[in-house]
Amino acid sequence: MSETASALSDSEKAALKLPPKVSGEKPDSGHMEEFGVNFARFLMRCNAECGELAEYNMAGQQTVLMSGPAAQEAFLKTLDKKLSRAAAYQAMVPVFGEGVIFDAPPERMKTQLKIQVDALRYQNMKAYAAVIAQEVQDWIAGWGDEGEMDFLDEFIQLTLHTACHCLLGADFRYKMTDEFKSLYHDLERGLQAIAFVDPYMQQPIFEARDKARARLQTLISEIIAERRANPEREYGDALETFMSGTYADGSLLSDNEVTGLVIATMFAGHHTSSGTAAWTAVEFARNPQYTGAVLQELEELYARDGELTFENLRDLPQLEAFIEEVLRLHPPLVLLMRRVIEDIDYNGTLIEAGKTVAISTYGSHRNPTYFPDPERFDPQRPKASSADMMWAYIPFGGGPHKCAGNAFALMQLKSIFAALLPKYTFELVDAPETYEDDLSAMVLKPSSPCRLRYRRR
């Protein structure tokens, strides 16, 4: 972890103003209580009250929210050398493991992240698309003509299966037990907001998290040992990439490091995708007027190619625009953070070393300057990924540290709905306004239950 430093002289710092402070701070906990209740809405209040920069107190950790495309671009790109991801995300260390990514020395972290990117390279992605399509077919095989279910629970199961199949291989996927699902759930629950204040305090959810991490390493180490005993076999999955990756000195990753990369990549491929998939189904049910155009392009795809492939999934503009709008209204990660390691002069305002800086994807995607009538679902908005929107539309971050799993996540979502939509329609079971964002955790998902009725076309 980098030590904080100052590149500004005392006289330079004295000439700068300080960020405006958010009201409502309590003597001991600061804004922690309000943050914990609904942190996305709290961050929107910070921006509305203070503007581009807003300083709030997370139980003693002073944090500066940076809002608007210019500030978000600085956060994601131009200030990169003065900001530390590792220091801001120490809550992930017990989840990923000691010595993995945010707990690794900078050069080892860089190598680990490169190996993770390699696991999601084009050649592997080609195989993943077919795997996901088959998982969807297996999932719906017993649905029948119509029914009703909680689609958040269903998508949690489906994306866990698809991520396991793609990342750990068919051998692990088809012997995956309820134990594995339970362990992964315990890891996820260990990322409550309080973990970003102190991930090591005595809490039952943290004890369960630590036991789950240890047990997962045992399970994954067994697979690693089995594969190393049969070196002639090729798997074409992420685990194979992690096992064959090396550091600059030629040494292989340890079982602990491989396990950590598996968990980190599972979070990219499952943790966020399940909520986004559930929201995509809800929005198709809530906005049936957009389904016709998506269906037409899918029918043309199947008539032309006969099957889903990674290549033809890249040419589905109607489905992609629909998913982009889902990601705008319901971004997977509501908050991105960095720790300031060197004093920053941001347009005449001093952001001191040692503070945390943050941006809110949830708030940015509701900026009416860039997204008029922001709460309205409209996939026909100007292309969210255009140059004009680059730093306003940030569901996967941006700049040099853009989420490594974004291509996999998008491919997974398109694969799921390209397989589902030609077969079934979706309807809301409950009143439309009851389908809300669950803003109690760092990863966004619909509130539970998330009930939908399906009917065969």
**Over the stretch 183-211, which tens digit does the pLDDT of each residue have?**
988 998 888 777 877 899 999 999 999 99
Q: Which segment of 132-141, 240-249, 347-356 scores lowest on mean pLDDT?
A: 132-141
Give the mean model confidence (pLDDT) for residues 378-383: 88
Q: Which segment of 101-115, 244-258, 428-442 scores lowest on mean pLDDT?
A: 428-442
CB atoms within 10 A of CB 375: 8
Give the mean model confidence (pLDDT) for residues 32-44: 88
What percentage of residues in the chain have a pLDDT greater than 90? 57
Give the mean model confidence (pLDDT) for residues 137-156: 92
Residue 161: pLDDT above 70? yes
Single out the residue of 163, 200, 192 nearest to residue 180, CA to CA.
Answer: 163
Give the mean model confidence (pLDDT) for residues 270-278: 84
Measured CA to CA, the distance from residue 364 to residue 290 in angstroms comes to: 24
Single out the residue of 6, 52, 53, 50 nearest to residue 24, CA to CA.
Answer: 50
Measured CA to CA, the distance from residue 239 to residue 235 in angstroms comes to: 8
Tokens of 9: 């002289």
Kindly indicate the confidence band of residue 6, based on its pLDDT and cuts at 50, 70 and 90: low
Q: Given this model, what pLDDT does residue 126 score?
A: 77
Q: Given this model, what pLDDT does residue 227 score?
A: 92
Residue 99: pLDDT above 60? yes
Q: Given this model, what pLDDT does residue 169 score?
A: 83
Kindly indicate the confidence band of residue 271, based on its pLDDT and cuts at 50, 70 and 90: low
Give the mean model confidence (pLDDT) for residues 330-335: 90
Q: Given this model, what pLDDT does residue 228 score?
A: 92
Residue environment code for 177-214, b if the CB has 16+ CB neighbours within 10 A, otherwise e: eeebeebbebbbbbbbbbbbbebeeeeeebebbbebbe
Single out the residue of 14, 27, 102, 19 nearest to residue 358, CA to CA.
Answer: 19
Name the DSSP letter for residue 26: B
Strands (E), 237-386: 335-340, 344-346, 349-351, 356-360
Kindly indicate the confidence band of residue 12, based on its pLDDT and cuts at 50, 70 and 90: confident
Measured CA to CA, the distance from residue 67 to residue 49 in angstroms comes to: 12
Give the mean model confidence (pLDDT) for residues 418-429: 94
Kindly indicate the confidence band of residue 393, based on its pLDDT and cuts at 50, 70 and 90: very high
Q: Given this model, what pLDDT does residue 25 score?
A: 95
Give the mean model confidence (pLDDT) for residues 62-71: 96
Give the mean model confidence (pLDDT) for residues 246-273: 88
Q: Given this model, what pLDDT does residue 1 score?
A: 34
Helix (H) or strand (E) segment spanning residue 191: none
Residue 359: pLDDT above 50? yes
Output the average pLDDT for the chain: 89
Residue bearing the bigger pLDDT, 37 or 372: 372
The dihedral of CA 316, 318, 321, 322: what is its sign?
negative
Q: Which segment of 11-25, 215-229, 337-351, 395-409 scores lowest on mean pLDDT?
A: 395-409
Kindly indicate the confidence band of residue 3, based on its pLDDT and cuts at 50, 70 and 90: very low
Q: Given this model, what pLDDT does residue 385 score?
A: 67
Give the mean model confidence (pLDDT) for residues 266-295: 89
Q: Given this model, what pLDDT does residue 314 score?
A: 85
Residue range 10-456 in CATH 1.10.630.10: yes
- Is the CB of residue 375 less than 8 Å from the CB of residue 366? yes
Residue 4: pLDDT above 70? no
For the chain, what's the residue count? 457
pTM: 0.88
Measured CA to CA, the distance from residue 301 to residue 435 in angstroms comes to: 32
